[in-house]
Amino acid sequence: MARGKFITFEGGEGGGKSTQVKRLIAALESAGIRAISTREPGGAPASEDIRELLVSGAVDRWTPMAEVLLNYAAREIHVAKTIIPALDQGIWVISDRFADSTMAYQGYGGGIDRDRIVNIHKAVLNDFMPDLTLILDLPVEQGLARAGKRLANDASNEDRFERMGRDFHNRLREGFLAIASDDPKRCRVINAEVDADAVFAAVTDAVNDALGVTI
């Protein structure tokens, strides 16, 4: 049986990742490709426990290096218990965030030396990376306005990163664009300023082109 493909969505706040993940799963299923959605931090029971620690509470609750380590603890469990078993069964895995978020948020945003993050990745996961990464890009003001609306309408208090300053979010956007230009084979930047249908058209084009399917 062919191994499943691993696709990740990345980007700053308010880019509409979760909508695109759902639509991609539906399109893959209609094309006869089994697929599951997952997210980071999270995606396995113990990793969701770690998520709770990361996304709520005071902005300065953790240091950026502690955030790297907590995210990699959650990620190691997620990969071992959810992602690899699915890929081994031929199931495609679509994740809302993965390792590039650590590089962007804690590296470019939080100022952790990028080589240290690369070394931690290697120590924990060797060279395991997605087959395709779709970076939903939009201006910071627009993303934060959208994320603010979403948070006002839901009962969670997962807003710790949204509350970080404007400079942090600008560094984040630049970080994701730099990650994409460093690894153009794996990463596609998608303009998320347009409506969800237009974003999804770009997502399907990228998946078809990069992974040789027709959805």
- Least Å distance, CB 1 to ligand TMP, is 29
Kindly state the smallest distance separating residue 90's Cβ from ligand TMP, in Å: 26
Q: Which of 25, 46, 55, 65 binds ligand TMP (CB under 6 A)?
A: 55
Taking the least distance from each CB to ligand TMP, the nearer of 6 and 105 is 105
Give the closest residue to 102 by CA, choosing from 77, 74, 144: 74
Query: What is the rounded distance in angstroms from the CA atom of residue 102 to the CA atom of residue 66?
Result: 11
The single residue among 8, 38, 47, 71 that binds ligand TMP, judged by CB under 6 A, is 71
Handedness of CA 81, 84, 87, 88 (dihedral sign): negative
| Residue 161 interacts with ligand TMP (CB under 6 A): yes or no | yes
Cα dihedral value 42, 48, 51, 53, nearest 10:
-160
CA neighbours within 13 Å on the CB side: how many for 5? 16
E-state strands within the chain = 6-10, 35-39, 92-96, 132-137, 187-191
Binding segment for ligand TMP (CB under 6 A), chosen from 24-32, 81-89, 94-102, 122-130, is 94-102
Task: Please identify, among the stretches 102-110, 135-143, 148-156, 199-207, the one whose residues bind ligand TMP according to the rule CB under 6 A.
Answer: 102-110
Closest distance of CB 27 from ligand TMP, Å: 21
